[in-house]
Amino acid sequence: MIKHYKPRKGLLIHLVLAILLAFLLIRWHFSDKVFPDILGSTSFLLFPCAYLLYHLLNTKYWIQGQSFFYRAGFMKGEVDVDSIKSIDVGITRWVGERAALANRGLLIKYNRYDDVFIAPADDEELISDLLALNPAIQVNHAARA
């Protein structure tokens, strides 16, 4: 059985994508050149836009059997649910293995030193499904400031 979880999409990634696309459109609007000629001079913006759009459309999480899978952009991974030691809820992480589109999310710690930061749309649903597979997982709720 496969169960999918939608990712939470934060405001920051939408804002950056909107600013990049707005700059491209404003540049085209106020230029006397045709659109294909402007693409050459603004191609440095097309690559970040394409990457962010690919990241937005390709981020997903799912549980299949005894494994938790994640995919975010070009990063993908698999975590054995029995190897999960703890889940930190409601934290923000800016560095490390970050398969998330939002700032607040879950930090899943597994094996001895491994961890992955994810941000599903419904944290509690994912946590309850992981706890059903491995009741030994310790869940830590971060204090909100």
Alpha-carbon gap, residue 95 to 99, rounded angstroms: 11
pLDDT 10s digits, 130-145: 999 999 999 998 766 5
> Is the pLDDT at 87 greater than 90, yes or no?
yes
Whether the CA torsion 85, 86, 87, 91 is positive or negative: it is negative
For the chain, the structural domain boundaries read 1-145
What pLDDT score was predicted for residue 122?
92
pTM for the predicted model, two decimal places: 0.81
Alpha-carbon gap, residue 9 to 100, rounded angstroms: 8
Alpha-carbon gap, residue 118 to 93, rounded angstroms: 9
What pLDDT score was predicted for residue 36?
66
80 falls in which pLDDT band (50, 70, 90)?
very high
Given the candidates 3.30.70.100, 2.30.29.30, 3.90.1200.10, 2.40.40.20, the CATH classification of the domain at 1-145 is 2.30.29.30
* Average pLDDT of span 63-88: 94
* Average pLDDT of span 71-95: 91
